[in-house]
Amino acid sequence: MPQYKAPLRDMRFQLNEVFDYAGHYASLSNGGDATPDMVDAILEGCATFCEEVLAPLYATGDSEGCSITDGVVTTPKGYKEAYKEYVAGGWQGLSHPQEYGGQGLPMSLNLLKSEMMGTANWPFTMYPGLSLGCMNTVFQFGNTEQKNLYMPPLVSGEWTGTMCLTEPQCGTDLAQIRTKAEPQPDGTYKLYGTKIYISSGEHDLADNIIHIVLARLPDAPKGTRGISLFIVPKFMVNADRSLGERNSVKAGALEHKMGIRASATCVMNFDGATGFMISEKNKGLEAMFTFMNTARIGTALQGVAHAELSYQGAVPYAKDRRSMRALTGKKDADHPNDALIWHADVRRMLLTQRAVAEGGRAMIYHAAKLADHMVAGVAEGNKAKYDDYDDRLGFYTPILKGFLTELGLECANLGMQVFGGHGYVKDYGMEQIARDARISTLYEGTTGIQALDLLGRKVLLQSRGKVVFGFTSEMIDQAKPHLLDGGPIGTMARTAFKRAIQWKVLTLRLMLRANKDRDVVSAACYDFLMYSGYVMMSHFWLKQALVAHKALASGKGSESKEFYAAKVQTAEFYFERLLPRADGHKKSMLSPTSAIMQMDNEHFSFN
């Protein structure tokens, strides 16, 4: 079984040496308490909790799964105790306002926590993780009474929350929502309908569950403009926050899933459940998608988490398992055969996992700094600041979510491949990582939806290419001083420089083609997203390589020379072996749409 060990050395390298988080926190209105010592203490404490409490429950939770009896869901053995320890440690309120019992630290610290927790045990992490969307919505759109009533127990973790969107007839297309909300004389609403795929919709970890639910009023206009948002508690809440009678919302079933089996994914039935409107009438969708960019970063973390965990399982196996002799001759002279790690193809798989995990971590840590400024804008009541950083973050999120989860799934499968046949059986734990990783490309918007959002909405409609031009300018600025350098740094800088120009040209070409052929957007969007992901990651690998190379040259740095050398070598691998994949996506996105659209619908099958 993979033995999770928090990658604190790489986390610290990126936080302190690559992204200067100490300076970043000092610039935030809510960052004063996030001193280097405080951040280090949080990292150490969370690492211990993840390694000693959460990681041991990962395999057992999958084997046992959740169960349901008469609408009551029971989580696997050890989950209740682990959740109590999580709450006692104050982890839930790490980045939430002090006025509601939180610690008021920057949001990025919550992401660092979530990365470690998610890598150690993603199914468990979903229980407190789903509360974040609920808390963020109540915090930004709830009235004073709602915030005072619900926020403190949500922030402490005493209660958990959900987001109830999907229905049997609709997933992404929320215009089809049918759940009804009937107004009552006392100002409340009665909700009727069924929601599906509701993560943490019912469980035995917390005393109450606060559901944030999309529904339609009787006089609501059709489409997305007619959706309102409601707070529906599992147990009614009295003015002193004591719990009242059971509300008419119940889990009708648990979904039987391929992976994340220890996470309760529920069918939720609202049979006249009492609800309270939050935000404005018919503007629920806008409120529901508050902080959606940060939610998608949270899902992007799953790509990094599963790449990291699979890598941590694969490396020891590759060092211990022996098969044949290396092609360049005997390596382990004391044995009749050599360890797997001497074989170039196995090293290719391991280095792919490492490059994705550490490259993805860098991408997310950069985006997290933008998220910190965005959340600070809300705390400061500065809407202009919030909107500005939300827009900036909006360019990164579909790339992070779509690209990193696709590569995280690939890396989970590579971990199985390193193990060979042993990877396919449950005894070694690698197949569970692959099963758990599979959902990441589907929820919070499939890869195709993220791709449409990136190319169709963010690039073509909203910015007319400016978001790409802005980022590629950053790439050029970073690479330019090193274009004449020798060695791997110069080679990588020149490659990144060329890719930045190429990305600009491709964006312009797609803009011109889309003016004549609307199908171009849908036909090219997946390849555009994946191309964008590979090129964006090259920027962040060059950033890490530059820092590591400087530390090696100067002899100064907080890490060993072996650590820095491995960083540069992993960057070289990325540029030589993974970045060229972008060329295939480039060719595909520019190919004629006729290859996709010309076939008659009836000719897809001749059965």
The string of DSSP codes covering 161-181 is EEEE--BTTBSS-GGG---EE
Q: Phi and psi dihedrals of 56, rounded to 5?
A: -65, -20
Round the CA-based radius of gyration of the chain to a whole number and report it: 25
Supply the DSSP symbol for 420. Answer: G
Return the percent helix, strand and coil in the chain, to nearest 5.
Answer: 60, 10, 25
Return the H-helix or E-strand segment holding 277: strand 265-278
Q: Which residues pair with 68 in a beta bridge?
A: 73
| CA 13 to the chain's CA centroid | 21
Task: Sort 235 into a burial class: Cβ within 10 Å, 0-12 / 13-18 / 19+.
Answer: middle
CA angle 236, 239, 243 (to 5 degrees): 35
CB 162 within 8 A of CB 270: no
d(CA 271, CA 595): 48
Supply the DSSP symbol for 34. Answer: -
Closest CA to 241 of 305, 160, 148: 148
Amino acid identity for residue 534 in this structure: Y
Closest CA to 491 of 581, 579, 551: 579
Tokens at residue 341, please?
Answer: 């790690």
Supply the DSSP symbol for 227. Answer: B
Which among 99, 444, 474, 559 is annotated as catalytic?
A: 444
Tokens at residue 563, please?
Answer: 């650590």
Tokens at residue 305, please?
Answer: 């988490």
Amino acid identity for residue 178 in this structure: R
Closest CA to 137 of 123, 122, 158, 154: 154
d(CA 50, CA 65): 20
Judge whether 444 counts as a catalytic residue.
yes
Amino acid identity for residue 406 in this structure: E
Return the H-helix or E-strand segment holding 67: strand 67-69
Closest CA to 209 of 170, 237, 169, 183: 237
Tokens at residue 528, please?
Answer: 């555009």
Q: Phi and psi dihedrals of 20, rounded to 5?
A: 45, 60
d(CA 300, CA 304): 7
d(CA 303, CA 360): 8
Whole-angstrom CA distances from 607 to 596, 597, 600 are 21, 21, 15
User: Who contacts 221 (Cβ-Cβ below 8 Å, separation ≥6)?
Assistant: 282
Whole-angstrom CA distances from 279 to 134, 141, 162, 193, 289 are 13, 5, 17, 20, 12
User: Who contacts 425 (Cβ-Cβ below 8 Å, separation ≥6)?
Assistant: 431
d(CA 488, CA 501): 20
Tokens at residue 52, please?
Answer: 């000693």
Annotated catalytic sites, by residue? 444
